[in-house]
Chains A and B, each alone.
Chain A
Amino acid sequence: AQSVTQLDSQVPVFEEAPVELRCNYSSSVSVYLFWYVQYPNQGLQLLLKYLSGSTLVKGINGFEAEFNKSQTSFHLRKPSVHISDTAEYFCAVSDRTGANNLFFGTGTRLTVIP
């Protein structure tokens, strides 16, 4: 079975500062990894995904994430955040089998402070 741990439930950061949102996963098989963002009162939208190949993945809105197999991590980073990045961020893992079911972490609420 797969599981995902997001180590920080809330992350406040000043505008234009860098941010890192942490994600660790547990799985006995190879996985696909995803980061989704949820803006207030909206559904989730994909930020980026790791399927294979380069371990550094670039996504939308200037975000990137690095897959580290030895540490079973997939941390999300942005070098300079904007007010509009205030949202909840979810890390998810898929076990590459069956119906591509996703297992989500509990989310990290990023608040960008002016």
Chain B
Amino acid sequence: DAGITQSPRHKVTETGTPVTLRCHQTENHRYMYWYRQDPGHGLRLIHYSYGVKDTDKGEVSDGYSVSRSKTEDFLLTLESATSSQTSVYFCATGPRQGLEEQYFGPGTRLTVT
């Protein structure tokens, strides 16, 4: 267990409001990732980080931003939430590039009304 927590675990918000999801890890892993999970799509990468203040876009990054000011925290922000962003969001971490699998958090269920 890689010691990954996500907060909040559930959130309901209205269209147009900003939302920030937090991922916290205690394993000192270098890499961190945000995914969204939707029926029929599996998991899709939103953004990832390869170090403090080093981030890059994934497959579905439009409408999302991220920040990583400390090794242990990776924040995902929806600047102005839309109903299409209703989803389950998973954070994952990876100790190093290449060989290692990723370790997943428990997920955050976000509903945008």
Contacts and interface: CB of A to CB of B under 8 A. Distances in A.
A106 B31 contact: no
Interface residues of A, number: 25
Interface in B71-99: 90, 92, 94, 97-99
A90 B41 CA distance: 11
A101 B100 CA distance: 11
B42 A100 contact: no
A104 B42 contact: yes
Contact of A43 (B41, B42, B48, B107): B107
B22 interface: no
Interface residues of B, number: 26
A35 B98 CA distance: 16
A45 B31 CA distance: 17
A54 interface: no
Nearest to A1: B59
Contacts of A42: 106-107
Interface string A77-110: 0000000000000100000101111111111000
Nearest to A9: B40
B52 interface: no
A42 B43 CA distance: 14
A104 B106 contact: no
A34 B101 contact: yes
Interface of B: 4, 31, 33, 40-45, 48, 50, 56, 58, 90, 92, 94, 97-102, 104-107
Across the A-B interface, give the 5 residue pairs with the lowest CB-CB distance, nearest first. Answer: A43-B104, A104-B42, A106-B42, A104-B43, A44-B104
Interface of A: 4, 6, 32, 34, 36, 41-46, 49, 51, 90, 96, 98-107
Given A42-B107, A96-B98, A99-B50, 6 more contacts: A44-B43, A99-B97, A100-B100, A100-B102, A102-B45, A106-B41
